[in-house]
Copies of this chain bind each other. A is one copy, B any other.
């Protein structure tokens, strides 16, 4: 096994979408995934998000999908929206390699904070983040409105 990381290009987006679906299934929410590969292409080209891929012999085995965000308290921030290692390749250290590559990109982009979210029942993920001395905040709730397009 020789895991390498690189930034995704437009051509990688179908494989990215496949891994997003895999995580949606793991989170018991497959029907919630309504964005298409075509949506991904449009928004990737608009510069709204980026992806770092983990590959083993040219096969994509993990993704970290992220975008700039902003902390009015701390300044420039990076937000990790989705972070997936394909099910058959978990427990092999690939997540660590991918997360380290993501943190390095955050440093290059001069971010002062990295932020993501984790489901409160996801013990394996919470244990993973503990290794990074991450702060876990349990007192913020998410508000969402889905009715934008009329």
Contacts and interface: CB of A to CB of B under 8 A. Distances in A.
A40 B74 CA distance: 10
A106 interface: yes
A120 B146 contact: no
A73 B143 contact: no
A97 interface: no
Interface residues of A, number: 62
A148 B115 contact: no
Number of copies of this kind of chain in the complex: 2
A135 interface: yes
Interface string A105-148: 01100111111111111000010010011111111111111111
A133 to B, nearest CB: 7
Interface of A: 20, 24, 29, 32-35, 39-40, 43, 48-49, 65, 67-76, 79, 81-82, 103, 106-107, 110-121, 126, 129, 132-150
Given A110-B148, A117-B142, 11 more contacts: A20-B73, A33-B72, A35-B73, A43-B75, A65-B70, A72-B81, A79-B79, A114-B145, A135-B143, A135-B145, A135-B146
